[in-house]
Structure 1
Amino acid sequence: MLFDSHAHLDDNRFDSDRDEVIARAWSEGLTGILNAGTDMATSAQAIKYTEHYPSIYAAVGIHPHDAKDAKDTDYEQLAQWAGLPKVVAIGEIGLDYYYNHSPKEVQQKVCIRQIDVARQTGKPIIIHDRDAHGDILDIIKKEAKGVTGVFHCFSGSLEMAREVIKLGFYVSFAGPVTYKNAAKLQEVAASVPLNRILVETDSPYLTPEPFRGRRNEPARVRLVADTVARLRQMEPAALYQATANNTRELFKII
């Protein structure tokens, strides 16, 4: 019952074997993959995958890296796409102060505009947050009333995770939770309520141990889930089922 709640199958590293990668995911027991857009082009591609592959769903949005290129007409297009049957979220959106490929104030403006699209369309949001914990929390508190979503590839503290959950959001764990130097993240994974946890790969990035350094793919979400299950002293199958149920509940996937 595994569900990869965040992947980027549009990445060119999958161009030579995308069908095989997807087939391998199903053979590993996955029942769904959510492909997240990062700009208008990849969002459009994510929608195409939903039309060609069963059990693949799409999120549409503009990543903070690409915020500088956002146009006013993009928000109307995102809202239109949000009406399609297998488009289940606005994302990934948020703030990234590590790379700062777009100015901070532009990132914030574009994030807020997309939260408004989510509110108008009734969709959850997928939050990217890197080195911007305080500002993204301020935005969520001020601008996202009535909106739910997930902090994908969660990287904050246990205190932050508890605050995020109080605001009605989920936390998602990716490959870094398997890393040896991830004690704080592992504490979060062991401690937060089970009904607020998702698992993901963020493929082709953030490959879990023992494959770190290689291209990631959705089938490897099992390694993430197994680590979270071990940290919580749970049977893996129970963790698979719970996180898949959480993903389907958040994104209203039947």
Structure 2
Amino acid sequence: MTIASPEALAAPVIDTHCHLDIHDRHLHGGSMPDPDTLIELAAAVGVTRIMQIGCDLEAARLSIQLAKTRPALVVGVGLHPNEAPRIFEAEGRAGLDLAYEAIEEMAQDEVVRAVGETGLDYFRSDESTRPIQQESFRRHINIAKKIGKTLVIHDRESHQDVMDILMEEGAPDRVIFHCFSGDASMAKFCADQGWFISFSGVVTFKNATDLHEAAAIVPDDLILVETDAPYLTPVPNRGKPNASYLMPFTVRALASLRSVDEATMAGHLWNNAQRALGVW
């Protein structure tokens, strides 16, 4: 499989959402990419920091272990919106409550900067799972507020419910809409609340016109960039496994959409990531 590699960026940036632990056989084939190799490749093109996301209990524990010995990494821990119903179905109320407690405990580790990804996913689930998804989202919101960590939101085909629940519960001081998929109107609403808006490789797709319009109007101090690797690979590698070293394609697309030079774009992204997640 041939993957086009980008030129190094004019200034460093931070990948605010990555899954170094995920081995997707459809994308990767039989071999699991080595995290240290991926971190080195990313640094070589200017992606010098990464937030590793663990979105179930096992992945959360592994993510913390990875970050303990890798200074480029910090961590987000949470139950993916589809993970909470799975636990509830398999282990019942007691099992889900124990999972919430485990996330809260892990989230207090010094390498953990964020709670999540959490939120709602109405694309890959039927309506029967929505009450548990919504309960889990509310619990994560309150964990983030209780321990003073950033909240990372997964929102897929659930925009209004996500925003309603955030407003009802009261958002934490720092909120990131991971892999933003709304339009310019939603981006303006999020920006008005002071929430960070993170764009993935989808913004490089020619048909993502609503997303292009959103990316153009997000304030300079609220825009972030991510890979969501190994998924959502930017053009020209769409359909192939994503990794942090491919993120320069997304950074350059954002710079073009916002009519700024690459170094300026990278500077905003770097500063915003440190405001959203702290310095490391």
Give TM class, smaller chain: over 0.9
Q: Aligned letter for 2:199?
A: F
Mapped to 1, the partners of 2:135 and 2:243 lie a distance apart of 32
- State which of 192, 202, 205 in structure 1 corresponds to 2:218: 192
Determine the structure 1 residue equivalent to 2:56.
39
Change (3 A) 1:84 1:95: same
Structure with the larger RCO, 1 or 2 (CA within 8 Å, 6+ apart):
2
* Structure 1 range deviating more: 182-191 or 143-152: 143-152
Q: Aligned letter for 2:181?
A: S
**Maintained 8 Å contact 1:141/1:167:** no
- State which of 260, 271, 279 in structure 2 corresponds to 1:234: 260
- State which of 105, 109, 129 in structure 2 corresponds to 1:103: 129
**Maintained 8 Å contact 1:2/1:241:** yes
Determine the structure 2 residue equivalent to 1:201.
227
Determine the structure 1 residue equivalent to 2:158.
132
> By how many angstroms is 1:44 displaced?
0.8
> By how many angstroms is 1:24 displaced?
0.2
- State which of 74, 81, 84 in structure 1 corresponds to 2:109: 84
Q: Deviations over 1:84-111 (max 9, x none)?
A: 2110000100000001167011100011
> By how many angstroms is 1:148 displaced?
2.3
Change (3 A) 1:99 1:47: same
**TM-score, structure 1 normalization:** 0.96
**Maintained 8 Å contact 2:18/2:52:** yes
Mapped to 1, the partners of 2:170 and 2:99 lie a distance apart of 20
Count, aligned residues: 254
Mapped to 2, the partners of 1:25 and 1:146 lie a distance apart of 30
**Maintained 8 Å contact 2:113/2:277:** yes
Equivalent residue runs for 1:208-247 within 5 Å: 208-247=234-273
* Residue 103 of structure 2 corresponds to residue 74 of structure 1: no
**TM-score, structure 2 normalization:** 0.87
- State which of 12, 16, 32 in structure 2 corresponds to 1:5: 16
* Residue 178 of structure 2 corresponds to residue 167 of structure 1: no
**Maintained 8 Å contact 2:150/2:172:** no
Mapped to 1, the partners of 2:172 and 2:242 lie a distance apart of 34
Which has the larger Rg? 2
> By how many angstroms is 1:251 displaced?
1.0
Q: Aligned letter for 2:98?
A: T
> By how many angstroms is 1:146 displaced?
4.1
Q: Which runs of 5+ in 1 are unaligned?
A: none
Q: Deviations over 1:188-232 (max 9, x none)?
A: 111110110000000000000000010000011111110000111
* Residue 118 of structure 2 corresponds to residue 93 of structure 1: yes
Q: Which runs of 5+ in 2 are unaligned?
A: 1-11, 89-95
* Structure 1 range deviating more: 108-117 or 139-148: 139-148
Identical residues among aligned pairs (%): 37
> By how many angstroms is 1:82 displaced?
2.0
Q: Aligned letter for 2:83?
A: D
